[in-house]
Structure 1
Amino acid sequence: MCRFLAYKGRPLLMADLLVRARNSLIAQSHHARMWQKPVNGDGFGVAWYPMHDDPEPGLFRSVEPAWSNANLNSVAHKLVSRCFFAHVRDATAGSPVSQLNCHPFNWQRLVFMHNGALEEFERMRRPLTGRLSDQAYHRLTGSTDTEHAFALFLDRLGFAAEPELDALADAMTATIGELLAMRRELGIDSPCFLNFAVSDGRHLVATRYVSHTDREPHSLYTTAGALKLDENGRFRVMHAESGAPDSVIVASEPLTAFESDWAPVPRNTLILVDAENGVTMRPLDLAA
């Protein structure tokens, strides 16, 4: 499966999380620690919201492994952002390795990515596209389950250009619920793993979800606070003593050497990060 991270907070050099942290996302692209298959070499993508007055994110995706792409390393050391997504891909068996299939996906100011799989997605593809509006259907360019889920999400959001946090959360819950209902209708019994993340640059919503009670969801962690270097040159997350934190990170694995700085997200949970970086969690009580 894939690995990802989402950052929202004070301006941060993207290389701090993509390159320089001990368990950076690039490190995870060739040696993930919390999945039995450590290599995520089927492409990568980053989406970032610029510091100048532009609400829409930049997007850089490639089919090259993240660890060998010199442009990614160079760009990450030059870009500062208050909100960015990054993803390294381990393609599901049978899913083509192409730039069109690399995460994150975007529409206007929204970005969307996924770690996991809708098992037996080929049985879902045609009925799922039949449920989409023309606007959502004509946005599809690749073949992944993720991009199709994003299209469904946009429909449930009503293609709102400037959604509020609750609207993002409700659309995410509705999307997962509809995917599960469709699988029941098609008689698909295999588990699905849905660690989704979406942002409009102001808000962030993420999920840790597995459809079967006898399976563990894919790993997901969160931390809130300022990323600082300690006296030994190692990154620490300094937690705020009171009030909303100045930064929030949601990631497939702890990015720093100090795993105590990170909290595992409970299974089947929706994470909400508001415009002031306040974090709340809601249970995803959805029938599989």
Structure 2
Amino acid sequence: MCRWLAYSGTPIRLDELLYRPRHSLIDQSLHARLGVETTNGDGFGVGWYVADSMAEPALYRGTGPAWSDANLREIARSTTSPLFLAHVRASTGTPVQQTNCHPFRFQNWLWVHNGSIRDFALLKRDLVLAVDPELYPAMTGSTDSEVMFHLAVTYGLRDRPIAAVQRTAGLIESVGRAHGVPDPLQMTVATTDGDRIWCFRYSSEGRSRSLFYSTGISALRTLHPDREMLRGLSEETRLVVSEPLGELAGAWQPVPESSYGVIQKGDDELSRFEPSMP
């Protein structure tokens, strides 16, 4: 379906993750190992924040394959950020157009999604009508992912992100049941306000798409004391990815089924995710 990554920590150039690792996100756009599709060439996007700022993030999206976009390479090698989301897309049926490429942005929030709403065309009307009318003009594309984002904003993403996504998932499953759609929701999601990152792994069928988080920097330094790249990273540095960017022993931990995590200053959180009715 898609591949994405979320990074928070010591400011780094975007290309350190998008291009340089052996199994970078750009490599995954051509050679995904754990995704439904091997190739994710139906567009891409990256959204990033300026250091020490929670202002509206910058956004660059394109409709071509990420591996061949020269402008993305130029931006990635010259842009430094402490927090960014990136996404390579494999369409589940909606058109390949810029407004359908992730990340989606609303004010200072970004959202990326891998997965789908089953039979979205059948459920779309009911779901869109549940979006706050004041948010409707902000929806410029046609994907299930963008509708999910605006439902989450409707249900309080800016104040209570976890509850908002739980309510979004609950609504989708309720509407799915009403229309006789089995197992309507499949999702791994990352969303951020520029300070914290919330990540979710859930599916109605209980077999969600792959998702991993990086091992703590202190533990990695102990495991790999000779790795120069680890010395310049703060203890707060963390990555969440659809699939590992490399094969460094002990570097990646699977996100448990039906769970959410919060990347934040101090201790991160990992807990169970359960949909709830709005």
Structure 1 distance, partners of 2:138, 2:72, is 26
Provide Cα deviations, 1:177-200, integer angstroms capped at 9, x if missing partner. 221122112221144211111000
Write the letter of the residue equivalent to 2:114.
N
Provide Cα deviations, 1:131-163, integer angstroms capped at 9, x if missing partner. 1221122211110000001110111117x4xx4
1:119 Cα offset (Å) = 1.0
User: Which residue does the alignment assign to 1:278?
Assistant: 267
The answer to whether the Cα contact below 8 Å between 2:198 and 2:261 also exists between their aligned partners in 1 is yes
Structure 2 distance, partners of 1:235, 1:140, is 44
User: Which residue does the alignment assign to 2:26?
Assistant: 26
The answer to whether the Cα contact below 8 Å between 2:173 and 2:184 also exists between their aligned partners in 1 is no
Structure 2 distance, partners of 1:138, 1:56, is 18
CA RMSD in angstroms, aligned pairs only? 2.4
TM-score with structure 1 setting the length = 0.87
TM-score with structure 2 setting the length = 0.90
Structure 1 distance, partners of 2:74, 2:225, is 26
Provide Cα deviations, 1:178-230, integer angstroms capped at 9, x if missing partner. 211221122211442111110001111111111114xx2100000144499x8
Say if 1:30 and 1:156 are closer, same or farther in 2 by CA, change over 3 A.
Answer: same
Structure 2 distance, partners of 1:61, 1:259, is 33
User: Which residue does the alignment assign to 2:212?
Assistant: 221
Provide Cα deviations, 1:208-254, integer angstroms capped at 9, x if missing partner. 111114xx2100000144499x899x78667x9xxx93211110011
Structure 1 distance, partners of 2:63, 2:18, is 17
Structure 2 distance, partners of 1:80, 1:248, is 16
The answer to whether the Cα contact below 8 Å between 1:224 and 1:247 also exists between their aligned partners in 2 is no
Structure 1 distance, partners of 2:176, 2:228, is 43
Counterpart selection for 1:200 from 176, 188, 193: 193
Larger mean CA deviation between 45-54 and 146-155 belongs to 45-54
Number of equivalent positions: 272
User: Which residue does the alignment assign to 1:147?
Assistant: 146
| 3-state DSSP of counterpart to 1:171 | helix
Larger mean CA deviation between 188-197 and 204-213 belongs to 188-197
Identity %: 36
| 3-state DSSP of counterpart to 2:149 | helix
User: Which residue does the alignment assign to 2:44?
Assistant: 44
| 3-state DSSP of counterpart to 2:134 | helix
The answer to whether the Cα contact below 8 Å between 2:4 and 2:87 also exists between their aligned partners in 1 is yes
Say if 1:268 and 1:231 are closer, same or farther in 2 by CA, change over 3 A.
Answer: closer
Write the letter of the residue equivalent to 1:84.
F
1:52 Cα offset (Å) = 6.5
Say if 1:211 and 1:53 are closer, same or farther in 2 by CA, change over 3 A.
Answer: closer
Q: Does 1:254 align with 2:244?
A: yes
| 3-state DSSP of counterpart to 1:138 | helix
Say if 1:61 and 1:259 are closer, same or farther in 2 by CA, change over 3 A.
Answer: farther
| 3-state DSSP of counterpart to 2:199 | strand
The answer to whether the Cα contact below 8 Å between 2:3 and 2:35 also exists between their aligned partners in 1 is no
1:256 Cα offset (Å) = 2.1
- Any stretches of 5+ residues in structure 2 without a counterpart? none
Structure 1 distance, partners of 2:276, 2:161, is 20
Structure 2 distance, partners of 1:54, 1:223, is 24
Structure 2 distance, partners of 1:235, 1:139, is 44
The answer to whether the Cα contact below 8 Å between 1:224 and 1:237 also exists between their aligned partners in 2 is no
Q: Does 1:67 align with 2:81?
A: no
Runs of 4+ in 1 over 6 A off after TM superposition: none
Larger mean CA deviation between 116-125 and 177-186 belongs to 177-186
Counterpart selection for 1:174 from 167, 173, 181: 167
User: Which residue does the alignment assign to 1:127?
Assistant: 126
User: Which residue does the alignment assign to 2:56?
Assistant: 56
| 3-state DSSP of counterpart to 2:198 | strand
User: Which residue does the alignment assign to 1:5?
Assistant: 5
Structure 1 distance, partners of 2:32, 2:230, is 21
Write the letter of the residue equivalent to 1:144.
T
| 3-state DSSP of counterpart to 2:181 | coil
Provide Cα deviations, 1:82-127, integer angstroms capped at 9, x if missing partner. 10000000000x3100001000000110000100011100111111
User: Which residue does the alignment assign to 1:189?
Assistant: 182
Q: Does 1:136 align with 2:130?
A: no
